Amino acid sequence: MGSPTTSLGTFGEVFREIRWVAVSDKITVIVGRIPETVGRILVIVGRILAKLVERTALEFAERNGLDLVTVVLPIVVGPFVCPNVPSSVYMGMAPIFGDQEQCKYLVSTYMVHIDDVASAHIFLLEHANAKGRYICSSIQTTIHDQVMEIKGYKGTNVSSMKLLNTGFKFKYGLGKMFDGAIQSCKEKGFL
């Protein structure tokens, strides 16, 4: 008996794509080392594949009576243990690193603290009625808000209603996101 098929091909093909998407975070790291046009194409292809894999997985779960939850993440900021600055943390801290190229993506963006990401995953795993797609974003912010927060001012709070309606509560605001990320960068010699 062959592999079950989805709207995008066999289940095996989907899993091969999932593995590719799982490492797509590295694409954003190498974009600076390859021609800009190629880098943009790779990022776009990665995003398209991620959306197709997510949609296919949700369709597969629906057809087969499985409960599947996907958690959609914005820019994730906070402390980290890996030896290099994660691309999401780097992008969120572009004003601190003085990276003007990355700052253009922060004109208006969404962010979440890494601990809130972990808590949301655990929360949804334990929530009996959790199903489908959840957006996990505690903050909608502008580059101006970020600069003000870094100087000690409060940022703007905007929530993810579907996740919040299940009873989840975010613990960290913009200031805590940057506190942990800055501390990790200092400890590892990046700042």
Q: Are residues 11 and 103 in the same domain?
A: no
Instruction: Give residue 117's pLDDT.
Output: 93
CATH at 100: 3.40.50.720
CA distance 104 to 36: 15
108-120 per-position pLDDT tens digit:
889 999 999 999 9
8 A C-beta contact, residue 60 and residue 6? yes
- 133 contact partners, CB below 8 Å, separation of at least 6: 54, 58, 69, 70, 72
Q: Are residues 84 and 139 in the same domain?
A: yes
Domain housing 180: 67-191
128-172 per-position pLDDT tens digit:
888 888 999 988 888 777 777 766 534 334 347 888 889 888 888
Q: Are residues 49 and 73 in the same domain?
A: no
Q: Are residues 38 and 74 in the same domain?
A: no
59-76 per-position pLDDT tens digit:
998 899 888 888 888 889
Catalytic residue numbers? 51
Q: Are residues 19 and 97 in the same domain?
A: no
1-56 per-position pLDDT tens digit:
444 444 445 444 444 443 333 333 334 334 444 455 655 676 677 778 888 888 89
Task: Count CA atoms closer than 13 A to 123's CA, side-chain side.
Answer: 19
- Rounded to 5 degrees, φ, ψ at 75 are -70, 125
Q: Are residues 61 and 71 in the same domain?
A: no
Q: Are residues 170 and 101 in the same domain?
A: yes
Query: Considering the entire predicted model, what is its pTM?
Result: 0.60
Q: Are residues 45 and 76 in the same domain?
A: no
At 57, which amino acid appears? A
